[in-house]
Structure 1
Amino acid sequence: MLLYILRRILILVPVYIGLTLSTFILIRLVPGDAVEIMMGERMVDPELHAQALARLGLDKPLPVQYWDYLTGILQGNFGESFRTRTPILQDFFAHFVPTLELALCAITIASIVGISLGILAALRRGTWLDYTLMSGALAGYSMPIYLLGPILTGIFAHYLGLLPVSGVISVAQFLDVKPLYGSWLLGSLSSGEPGAFWNVVKHFILPSVALSTIPLAMIARMTRSAMLEVLDEDYVRTARAKGLSPKRVILIHVMRNALITVVTVVGLQMATLLAGAIITETIFSWPGVGNWLLDGFFTRDYPIVQNGILLVATALILVSLMIDILYGFINPRIRHSS
């Protein structure tokens, strides 16, 4: 296992180099001048424009700019935002923690409900319940978030008035809850106010449910498939022939072997949620990393886009590595080697 982890870390070196090069080139292919966008085309005279380019290092040749960018990363310096002059790492964690909280809430809902529905459908395969659950999962997988989000908002926020529409900022300002390392959930817990936590949690419900629908459907269908594959194995029939209780057969012999596939799907969906929650964050005004990167792209804030994508990719790779390590604990037959 140790050799496998070391090998994965070594593989990351060319991956990171390719990622830095691609983001560096692609954002500069987009038309638009970063200085003009920041200061306004009509307000920039040639001298001020040249000074701003020199200050930001944009007057250098592209290979020199890339080398400076790469050496800065190797030294742990991710630079500052062109517009706000705040460190990229500080901005990233301030926006990534709300995204991580939202993704964790969504994947928790998707895992609990999806695995339960998948097990139930597998145990009742071929019945009306199986067809109903899988049809519902297919409908949930087919429903785009940009359509589901406004529907949930219209029903539960505008029509019923049960849940708030926008993200955590408004409720934090209303309750005067200070975030802890960008975490509104932890900030509400540390505030000491009895209703603060519930008021913040209410803001998580709609975006978490909207974000969890597609992973829930995927997890439910893959759990059912994995369960059906394991249920037909000889060792399961042997366990039943020995007189073991159905509960023990399902939990010990079936689920333990089916979890390999389920853990893979859950991990991949978690990685997808971390990187692909831009639409949900936009609909529900969520102060996450998706909106931050999108804003940096439209304003040509190169350090935000370049280093933000790199840091998000690092989080995704760590999630993937943790899943691989978890395999060995779930099923001792799996061994990784170099």
Structure 2
Amino acid sequence: MEHIASVSRSSGLEKDGDTLKDFKIQEEYREFLQGKSIESDSEARQRIDAQENVLILFRKLREGIFSSRRTDSFALEVYETSLYLSVAFNSTKQTTPIISHLLPDLYLIVSPPHHNRPVTILISLVHHLVATYPSQSLFQQHLDTIPLSLLPKNSKASKWINSLARSLRARNFIEFERLTGPFTIGRLFDAQDTPSNPPKGSSPMLSTNGRLADLSHSALYEIIDSLRSKTRGTSWDVFRSAYREVSCASETGNWLARSLFLNPLGPHTATIGVDQWFKQQSQLGHVRPKEGTADKWIVCKFR
């Protein structure tokens, strides 16, 4: 299965070059990828080569789907899974083109139910906030292409993403921290996001205990964590301009963790403590330890 020719590379001239245009072969190939995606998901932090291999194989399958003009629930699931894995594996070069094929066209063509649509739309929008931070021009362009039928104006998802973008424009870091905290993010996930009875004929990943929904949630946490990392740099610059000295002791340390978005989002996102953060900044020359104290730092001003 792994050696099936890519449609785009063979141009129909290579032997078996059109194999992945066959719907049945596409579905068999997707089942083959199920084991691959599970394996690489468990090794995501250790095996970059395995991640890249999974993404390449999914891209090959998408090429077959696109060339065969397939637009059904199977095609939708493959594109959704590809998006979530590209985010989980931090492959921006794949994330952007996947979004362009997925939204809004596939959701408009494929008949409901679209269990993962709200989360998928949010992932795509936050991706654009991250990719061009601090500019929001591409984010706004993408938002304008999504019809109200897919993202209703009064929906929780719409209100959240617009509030998030507004907090970034206003540099309202307190509001940004609240909007990207685990409690607020958790409330975005409705029970309907994880179907208890997957539709007949659904693909393996969707029918395995809502794994696709779990993967979509993990991807959203990952992309939000990336946005927090970008915004942390801006918040830190503001902090350095405003303070000459800071203590990492208890209450102040908790305040710093919130102000710099250091609190963990979820079990799969990276964590860093306030002390570790300041040690890193010390190596960069942004702060230095205050002599005679254990948890105080002198803030070095911009030069």
Does the pair score TM above 0.5? no
**TM-score, length basis structure 1:** 0.24
Q: RCO greater where, 1 or 2, for CA within 8 Å and sep 6 or more?
A: 1
More helix by proportion, 1 or 2? 1
The structure having more radius of gyration, on CA atoms, is 1
**TM-score, length basis structure 2:** 0.26
